[in-house]
């Protein structure tokens, strides 16, 4: 294991970590505000890639525009999922919401199979995203550089929204105390929709970055990153954005490192993720880093 190889893997892990963080934030925010695990989040991530794909291939949009359209459509999708599958069940027992989320997840996956077809499609990769850069002997993919940049930008914007706008204040209030926030005149439904919008938007950004790095898209592609990101959200402390980010890193770097350093256990990768989640849920339910 040379230093170069190690650094290469590390940079992979970090950039992967950012991707997981972008997706994990969506899980965390929705859970923080609704106490609901949005099982369909990973599938919304998947839909984003298909939106971009068809925008480019079917509607012949230039890729920059296509990406923005995809993000916009994904936000619409995320908000609609809440509007039609979760909002009617606000006052129902928790199990109903859980079933609705699981059902929504399967619905999106199989809708994609029926409409888009189950075979993987090749995602369009613009030139600039395919270059390899060599920085002091370490080969780094351009996507690995762009991902952290865009992710950090997105996180900064998010932090600004959360802490310096009225909507952000509303979101924080609802997370703290749903009933009081309601009584204080905060428009719950609008705020929740906004939360889904942000979560879906970040997932869409993550999805496009993901597809640029792994250009095979298919209906079940959201499952793997979805569960990883979900594990990240749990381990970082669900409900906390900072936790989701840190968790994302943890999971991203660990995913790569386990394969590199313990190749014999690579087959058990998925199991480790779940063992991690179970351990955290049982012993430190507020996450490894505590609650925000």
Partner 1 sequence: MKKKNLYFLLNISIIMLIIIFIIIANKKFDSYVIRILNLCAIYIILGVSLNLINGFTGQFSLGHAGFMAIGAYVSALLYMSPELKEENFFITPLIWPLSVIQIPFVFSLIIAGLVSAGVGFLVGVPCLRLKGDYLAIVTFGFSEIIRVIFNNLQNVTNGPIGLKGLPIYTNLWWSFGIAILTVLVVKNLINSSYGRALKSIRENETAAEAMGVNLFFHKSLAFAIGAFFAGLGGALLGSFIMTVDPNIFSFLLTFQLIVIVIVGGLGSITGTVISAIIITVLMEILRSVEAPMNIFGLHVPGIPGMRMLVFAILLMTVVLFFKKGLMGKKEWSWDGLLKKYFPDNER
Binding site for partner 1 (CB under 8 A): 31, 35-37, 85, 88-89, 92, 94-96, 98-100, 102-104, 106-107, 109-114, 118, 219, 234, 267-268, 270-271, 274-275, 277-278, 281-282, 285
Rounded to a whole number of angstroms, the minimum distance from the CB of residue 39 to partner 1 is: 9
Q: Which is nearer to partner 1, 170 or 234 (CB)?
A: 234
Rounded to a whole number of angstroms, the minimum distance from the CB of residue 141 to partner 1 is: 29
Rounded to a whole number of angstroms, the minimum distance from the CB of residue 189 to partner 1 is: 17
Rounded to a whole number of angstroms, the minimum distance from the CB of residue 227 to partner 1 is: 8
Q: Which is nearer to partner 1, 158 or 192 (CB)?
A: 192
Rounded to a whole number of angstroms, the minimum distance from the CB of residue 8 to partner 1 is: 27
Q: Which is nearer to partner 1, 102 or 149 (CB)?
A: 102
Rounded to a whole number of angstroms, the minimum distance from the CB of residue 85 to partner 1 is: 7
Q: What is the 3-state secondary structure (H, E, C) of 177-230?
A: CHHHHHHCCCCHHHHHHHHHHHHHHHHHHHHHHHHHHCCEECHHHHHHHHHHHH
Q: Residue 2 phi/psi, 5° resolution? A: -85, 165
Q: Scanning the structure block, which residue is given the tokens 């925008």?
A: 55
Rounded to a whole number of angstroms, the minimum distance from the CB of residue 153 to partner 1 is: 31
Q: Which is nearer to partner 1, 203 or 238 (CB)?
A: 238
Q: Cα(78)–Cα(251) distance, rounded to whole angstroms?
A: 24
CA distances from 97 to 86, 90, 93, 102, 198 (A): 6, 8, 7, 9, 20
Q: Which is nearer to partner 1, 98 or 173 (CB)?
A: 98
Rounded to a whole number of angstroms, the minimum distance from the CB of residue 203 to partner 1 is: 19
Q: Which is nearer to partner 1, 31 or 53 (CB)?
A: 31
Q: Which is nearer to partner 1, 201 or 236 (CB)?
A: 236
Q: Which is nearer to partner 1, 18 or 196 (CB)?
A: 196
């Amino acid at each position: 294991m040379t230093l170069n190889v190690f650094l290469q893997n590390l940079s992979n892990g970090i950039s992967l970590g950012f991707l997981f963080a972008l997706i994990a934030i969506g899980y965390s925010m929705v859970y923080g505000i609704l106490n609901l695990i949005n099982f369909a989040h990973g599938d919304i991530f998947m839909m984003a890639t298909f939106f971009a794909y068809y925008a480019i291939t079917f509607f012949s949009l230039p890729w920059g525009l296509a990406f923005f359209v995809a993000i916009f459509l994904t936000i619409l999708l995320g908000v609609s999922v809440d509007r039609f599958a979760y909002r009617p069940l606000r006052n129902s027992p928790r199990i109903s919401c859980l079933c609705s989320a699981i059902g929504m997840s399967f619905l999106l996956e199989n809708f994609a199979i029926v409409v888009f077809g189950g075979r993987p499609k090749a995602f369009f990769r613009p030139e600039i995203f395919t270059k390899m850069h060599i920085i002091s002997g370490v080969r780094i993919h351009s996507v690995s550089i762009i991902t952290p940049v865009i992710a950090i930008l997105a996180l900064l914007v998010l932090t600004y929204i959360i802490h310096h706008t009225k909507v952000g204040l509303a979101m924080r209030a609802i997370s703290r105390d749903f009933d009081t926030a309601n009584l204080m005149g905060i428009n719950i439904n609008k705020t929740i929709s906004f939360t889904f919008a942000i979560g879906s938007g970040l997932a869409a950004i993550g999805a496009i970055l993901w597809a640029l790095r792994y250009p095979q898209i298919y209906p079940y592609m959201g499952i793997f990153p979805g569960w990883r990101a979900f594990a990240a959200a749990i381990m970082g402390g669900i409900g906390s954005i900072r936790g989701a980010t840190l968790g994302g890193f943890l999971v991203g770097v660990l995913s790569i490192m386990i394969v590199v350093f313990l190749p014999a256990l690579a087959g058990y990768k998925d199991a480790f993720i779940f063992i991690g989640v179970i351990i955290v849920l049982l012993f430190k339910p507020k996450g490894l880093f505590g609650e925000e």
